[in-house]
Structure 1
Amino acid sequence: MPAKKSIRIMLLDDHPVILHGLETCLIGDSGIHIVGSYNTTQALLTALSQQPIDLVLLDFSLGPDEVDGLNLIRGLKIRFPTVRLLVISALHNSSTVAMAMRCGADGFIGKEVDSAQLPIAIRRVASGKTYLTDGMIEQFYENEMSTEDHNASPLTDDTNTAALLANNSSLTTREYEVLRCCLDGMSVSQIAQKFSRSSKTISTQKQSAFRKLGLRSDNELYKVRDQLEAR
């Protein structure tokens, strides 16, 4: 009987310690072959263009100079439509997960889960199915959310502003990404550099998001985050 083909994967995380941990968790699994581990988006894109793989395991939030989050997920799906995407993140909630799935992710797993779940998630996503933890699925039912329709209006942005952003679907994807970066402590100029847009454009998107959410300052945005994290 022929040997079962290994799942070829690449890893993306901007923290070397996390990458090492992921490698250690998967290295002993004969059914999973780590083709490469990368800590920058550009390095991953270069590698993807040079060799075929089955799945990318990628961190949702990377450094301020990196393309990440929803933009990265959407970009990878456009450039490499056959590659399956499993997103991993230390911070997540139902609205963030739903938005990631809508943008093209095939699965989402939290960094807090038992390491034994990681190979299971990889196998499920690589087989063409979606993977979410039971807790995530329960939250979707409770909030009447959907992970379908990648082109639908976004539900949320940052993991820390879950309830408020989840209830405001009028925010655009770019407005969500700008708020997420603001909550990461990035300035308007840093966000502009990250997304290759002008500072004026970023400022306009930020103010538009603030108006839609009824916020008047960064202070109010951070207060919302604190309240939601305390739930």
Structure 2
Amino acid sequence: MKLLLVDDHSVVRAGIRRLLSVLMNAEAILEAGSTHKALSIFRVERPGVVVLDLNLPGAGGLDLLKRLLIEDPRARVLIFSMHTSALYVTRALQCGAKGYISKSASAEKLVEAVRQVAAGGRYVERDLAVDLAFNVAGSDEPGAALSARELDIMRLLAKGENLSAIAERLGVSYKTIANSCTTIKHKLLVQRTSDLIRIAVEMHAS
């Protein structure tokens, strides 16, 4: 089995690679720190499981998840993220992820998750699954109505990026981002950009 680790922090990739090398009998453990490189490796190597962080530079992990599934609808992607909000778990599973585990999980749980997804199953970390069960219907959490791209914009706003920088990182025009922010404001029932930024920071405080 080939594994592909996608995380923009080389230290994190190195640690996970060593861990999986010791605890799993993987044919190869490949690495990528960006969406572009991850897609390039995926197209050539067709790994059995992709372990994907959501906080990637540029388009972000949810966008990459959708691109991987366009390349191969059978792709098995396990989200490995610092975000533990039920909103993110729900959106990742809706976008086609086969599993979701937090970066605070134990090494044993990560290996269990990779093995389960590799075998064709699904895996959601227990604590996240409990939170998800309480938020399945009618969630009023800020951002529940946002699309994957809108969530990426909120993620970048929370990191302090201005609209011009977000447009450049996502590869779209400033006008497109400005229009998206207007749509987000309508969905979140706010009028001021400062309120939008506040909500973005609160969403990503964990």
Normalising to structure 1: TM-score of the pair? 0.80
Structure index of larger Rg: 1
How far apart in 2 are the matches of 1:177 and 1:184?
11
How far apart in 2 are the matches of 1:73 and 1:134?
22
Find the partner of 2:189 among 214, 220, 230: 214
Q: How many residues align?
A: 206
Find the partner of 1:164 among 127, 142, 149: 142
Runs of 4+ in 1 over 4 A off after TM superposition: 225-231
Look up the SS of the partner of 1:165 in the other structure.
coil
Structure 1, unaligned runs of 5 or more? 1-6, 147-154, 156-161
Find the partner of 1:79 among 35, 47, 71: 71
Structure 2, unaligned runs of 5 or more? none
Are residues 227 and 28 of structure 1, via their aligned partners in 2, closer, same or farther at CA, if it must alter by over 3 Å?
closer
Amino acid aligned to 2:162: S
Look up the SS of the partner of 2:80 in the other structure.
strand
CA contact (8 A) 2:76 2:117 kept: yes
Normalising to structure 2: TM-score of the pair? 0.89
Look up the SS of the partner of 1:32 in the other structure.
coil
Amino acid aligned to 2:29: V
> Which residue pairs with 2:20 in the alignment?
26
How far apart in 2 are the matches of 1:132 and 1:14?
23
How far apart in 1 are the matches of 2:112 and 2:50?
14
Q: Which has the higher helix share?
A: 2
Which of 185-194 and 94-103 deviates more?
185-194
Are residues 121 and 175 of structure 1, via their aligned partners in 2, closer, same or farther at CA, if it must alter by over 3 Å?
same
How far apart in 2 are the matches of 1:109 and 1:137?
10
Query: Aligned residues: percent identity?
Result: 27
| Two-structure CA RMSD over aligned residues (Å) | 2.3
What is the CA-CA distance between 1:228 and the residue it aligns to? 6.1
Pairing 1:1-231 to 2, within 5 Å after superposition: 7-63=1-57, 66-145=58-137, 163-166=141-144, 169=145, 171-224=146-199
